[in-house]
Amino acid sequence: MIGSSGAGKSVFAARLAERTGLPLIHLDAIYWKPGWVATPKDEWTRIVDDLLARDAWVMDGNYAGTLDRRLAACDTAIFLDFPRVVCLWRAVKRRIIHHGRSRPDMAPDNDERLTWEFARWIWTYPRERRPGVLAKLDTLRPDQRAVLLRSGADAERFLRTLPPDGA
């Protein structure tokens, strides 16, 4: 699961995992140590490789440094390609809802925050990051599929197409 911050990757991934019965992996909860301390790059690569070696999973997060590895290991890549205004609004709303505490999909002691730098990252995502993601999705193998969801309605329709709990 990839997409701009605020697109709803974590929420959608949790719903997808519940629907399919697959284990859920929130990369943000693993990458960010308490106090917003980042995992060192070499350690992060090993962690991601270990996660990818599992039989099956639903994984959400951006992390461009491991995107190629994750795409190579998946059978389906879901890109939440939502408008920047939606993503920015959701990030603001998330900041308000989780003010002074960590989100459920984050490590403890990482209180929700919204900086100007983060808001700019969301706003520029369509121009600066989206083209690269689309290019990578175009190179998936024939046995893989890319799913682009451009709205909440698209996401709901996609979930309804899946058999419940991996049936």
Is the per-residue pLDDT at 167 higher than 60?
no
Note the CATH architecture for domain 2-160: 3-Layer(aba) Sandwich (3.40)
Query: Does pTM surpass 0.85?
Result: yes
Give the tens place of pLDDT for each residue, 88-111: 999 888 777 766 666 777 677 766
Residues 98-126 have a mean pLDDT of 79
State the SS3 of 94-148: HHHHCCCCCCCCCCCCCCCCCCHHHHHHHHHHHHHCHHHHHHHHCCCCCCCEEEE
